[in-house]
């Protein structure tokens, strides 16, 4: 056991060996969950962040001993389900992230549990559908479809059906789809001369993301206006795929890899 209380060093990240069979081994995963959960329980600085931590601490506090070893491993998934991999605990709160000897990387632990769940096909069809943002966006923004799709989000009968089939609450506000997608609405760049800064290149490749492409193209158009105002030339990155975050939250690491490879090639060009 280390005597170091915390760390003032910059966080580092260890590579994930997600191809290894041990990464998906249930007993190995549970041992690491129990180890890190016990450290979190003894610290609790992260209680003000996402609901994963109050969920964990409530599970511990509900045991007769008030200790982590009495929490049922079957309940570990309740903690995992509350994490959406924002990384705030890792980047801003936890004093035990690597290079601290305790090596607490809570988001990577949650990702491991999500990946095992996905490998076992313990994910709902609706989650696999809703995380396919490119497929949904491309379909919903077809000119003859987009108005009907937006209208359906306002119709009580359609929202009841959506709640029943997809688990999307009927009162949940949904972002409308844009009639014209950002890549189609974006004007061509003015051929400003490229003026490299001391630490930055003087031109921009815009990776616009699914939300800007399909829901809020105005965000991308505002960015273009800023670039034009500052006489900075830009291009819209071609053949963009989803950034992969929805699939990462689902634990679908193979899909994330495919999206990464597609986007890396596009952006590198």
Average pLDDT over residues 136-150: 84
Q: How confident is the model at residue 227 (pLDDT cuts 50, 70, 90)?
A: very high
- Quick check: 106 and 11 in contact, CB under 8 A? no
* Nearest partner of 174 among 153, 197, 146, 196, judged by Cα: 153
Average pLDDT over residues 37-50: 91
Q: Which of 6-10, 52-56, 149-153 has the highest mean pLDDT?
A: 52-56
46 vs 111: CA distance, rounded Å: 18
Q: How confident is the model at residue 130 (pLDDT cuts 50, 70, 90)?
A: confident
Residue-wise over 117-154: b if at least 16 C-beta within 10 A, else e? bbeeeebeeebbeebbbeebbeebbeeeebeebbeebe
User: Among residues of the chain, what percentage have pLDDT more than 90?
Assistant: 53
Give per-residue pLDDT as tens, 48-82: 989 999 999 999 999 999 899 999 999 999 999 99
* C-alpha distance from residue 19 to each of 98, 125, 243, 247 (Å): 22, 24, 21, 17
Task: Give the torsion sign (CA, 149, 152, 158, 159).
Answer: positive
Residue-wise over 224-246: b if at least 16 C-beta within 10 A, else e? beebeeeebbbebbeebbbbbbb
Q: How confident is the model at residue 6 (pLDDT cuts 50, 70, 90)?
A: low
* The Cα angle at residue 122 between residues 131 and 110, in degrees rounded to 5: 70
Give per-residue pLDDT as tens, 91-123: 888 999 999 999 999 999 999 999 999 999 888
- Quick check: 24 and 107 in contact, CB under 8 A? no
Round the average pLDDT of the chain to a whole number and report it: 89
Average pLDDT over residues 10-36: 93
Residue carrying structure tokens 């670039």 = 227
Q: Which of 120-129, 138-147, 197-206, 215-224 has the highest mean pLDDT?
A: 215-224
What is the pLDDT, as a whole number, of residue 252? Answer: 92
Burial class for 248, CB neighbours closer than 10 Å (0-12, 13-18, 19+):
buried
The DSSP secondary structure of 40-69, one letter per residue, reads HHHH-GGGGSSTHHHHHHHHHHTSSS-SGG
């Amino acid at each position: 056991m280390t005597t170091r209380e915390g760390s003032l060093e910059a966080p580092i990240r260890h590579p994930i060996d997600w191809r290894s069979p041990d990464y998906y081994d249930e007993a190995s995963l549970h041992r690491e969950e129990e180890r890190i959960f016990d450290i979190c329980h003894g610290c609790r600085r992260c209680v003000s962040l996402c609901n994963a931590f109050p969920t964990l601490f409530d599970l511990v506090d509900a045991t007769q001993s008030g200790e982590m070893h009495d929490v049922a491993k079957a309940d570990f998934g309740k903690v995992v389900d509350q994490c959406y991999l924002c990384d705030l605990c890792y980047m801003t709160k936890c004093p035990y992230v690597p290079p601290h000897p305790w090596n607490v990387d809570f988001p990577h632990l949650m990702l491991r549990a999500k990946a095992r769940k996905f490998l076992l096909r313990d994910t709902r069809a609706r989650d696999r559908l809703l995380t396919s943002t490119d497929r949904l966006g491309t379909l919903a923004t077809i000119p003859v479809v987009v108005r009907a799709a937006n209208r359906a989000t306002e119709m009580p009968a359609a929202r009841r059906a959506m709640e029943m089939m997809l688990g999307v609450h009927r009162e949940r506000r949904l972002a409308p789809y844009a009639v014209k997608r950002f890549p189609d609405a974006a004007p061509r760049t003015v051929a400003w001369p490229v003026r490299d800064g001391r630490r930055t290149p003087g031109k921009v490749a815009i990776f616009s993301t699914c939300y800007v492409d399909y829901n809020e193209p105005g965000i991308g158009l505002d960015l273009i206006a800023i670039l034009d105002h500052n006489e900075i030339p830009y291009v819209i990155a071609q053949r963009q795929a989803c950034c992969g975050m929805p699939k990462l939250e689902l634990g679908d690491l193979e899909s994330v890899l495919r999206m990464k490879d597609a986007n890396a090639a596009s952006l590198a060009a």
